């Protein structure tokens, strides 16, 4: 449980180990019982491994945010610019590629603080639409994004090994 307020800032290279740890734990908490361990491990290494995070942080079209409480890392968000799927129709779109909060810190405001910071960063950069993919069966996540104002705009498949998951595309007009 969190003992202090939530602070969110742009992540720096020195935050890569903490981002990797949060991504690993959070992804396992969300998907760990739904796929083979080898598939989970491969995905975590590709997207939440320290080396992968450092590589992404070095790109000019990526931005990581880190949430802390009492100076301890509790959550991450990752923004990425690029061409969205055709179902994302809002102007000047930016993707919220990841938003994860450590399972021990859920429901304490870290997710909201990260999303607020992501929206502020997107607006500052001149984007007008924030879009994301969310697992359709992650009711807690879908409810969170809907409460924030995101609306469903389509579907995309997401594969973890051989297992197909149905992700919803959701968009928010900024």
User: Tell me: the pLDDT tens digits for 83-142?
Assistant: 899 889 899 999 999 999 998 888 889 999 999 999 999 999 999 999 999 999 989 999
Q: How confident is the model at residue 3 (pLDDT cuts 50, 70, 90)?
A: low
Taking a C-beta distance cutoff of 8 angstroms, is the pair 77, 115 a contact?
yes
Q: How confident is the model at residue 32 (pLDDT cuts 50, 70, 90)?
A: confident
CATH number at residue 38: 3.40.630.30
* Residue at 101 is within a domain: yes
pLDDT score of 49: 96
**Section 157-166 average pLDDT:** 90
* Residue at 1 is within a domain: no
Q: How confident is the model at residue 2 (pLDDT cuts 50, 70, 90)?
A: low
Q: pLDDT tens digit string along 35-89?
A: 899 999 999 999 999 999 999 999 999 999 999 998 899 999 999 998 899 889 8
Q: Give the range of the structural domain holding residue 20, as residue numbers without chain letter.
A: 6-173
Report the number of distinct structural domains present in the chain: 1
The whole model's pTM is what? Answer: 0.93
* Residue at 121 is within a domain: yes
Nearest C-alpha neighbor of 108 from the set 67, 65, 71: 67
């Amino acid at each position: 449980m969190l003992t202090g307020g939530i602070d969110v800032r742009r992540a720096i290279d020195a935050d890569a180990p903490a981002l990797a740890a949060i991504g690993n734990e959070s992804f396992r908490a969300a998907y760990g019982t739904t796929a083979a361990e080898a598939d989970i491990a491969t995905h975590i290494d590709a997207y939440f491994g320290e080396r992968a995070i450092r590589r992404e942080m070095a790109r000019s079209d990526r931005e990581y945010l880190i949430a802390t409480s009492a100076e301890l890392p509790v959550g991450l968000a990752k923004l990425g610019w690029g061409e969205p799927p055709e179902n994302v129709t809002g102007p000047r779109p930016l993707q919220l590629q990841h938003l994860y909060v450590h399972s021990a810190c859920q429901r304490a405001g870290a997710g909201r603080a990260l999303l607020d910071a992501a929206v502020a960063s997107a607006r500052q950069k001149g984007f007008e639409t924030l879009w994301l993919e969310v697992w359709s069966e992650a009711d807690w996540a879908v409810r969170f994004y809907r409460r924030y104002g995101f609306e469903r705009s389509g579907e995309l498949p997401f594969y973890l090994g051989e297992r197909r998951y149905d992700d919803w595309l959701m968009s928010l007009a900024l």
